[in-house]
Amino acid sequence: MLQLPLSDADWARVQGLFPDLQSARGRPRRSDREILNAILWLQQRQEKWHRLPATFPPQQTCYLRYMTWKKTGVLDQVNEILPMCDPELSSC
């Protein structure tokens, strides 16, 4: 099973999939790594968005980024690079 939060090595493998967006106005943008950790946590546990622990960014922020990444195919690429389970193990 994929370790969360993502290790530096795992993050380095997928970091290039996320565009470096800087905004000069408004609130600082939440880090893609934090959001990805939250999304992967939900996927691993097959939980609902309202069950996202408070240790992660707000669920609305995570959900909006999830929808964007799902639509653009980024999450599919992440799941190819970082499989949720070890293929050598029979159970996840």
DSSP assignment of 16-85, as one string? Answer: GGS-----SSSSPPPPHHHHHHHHHHHHHHT--GGG--TTSSPHHHHHHHHHHHHHHTHHHHHHHHS-SS
Given a cut of 90, whether residue 84 has pLDDT beyond it is no
Mean pLDDT of the chain: 88
How high is the pLDDT of residue 54?
Answer: 95
Say whether pTM exceeds 0.95: no
| Dist. CA 11–CA 78, nearest whole Å | 10
The ranges assigned to domains in the chain are 1-14+30-87
| Dihedral of the alpha carbons of 30, 21, 36, 2, in degrees to the nearest 10 | -130
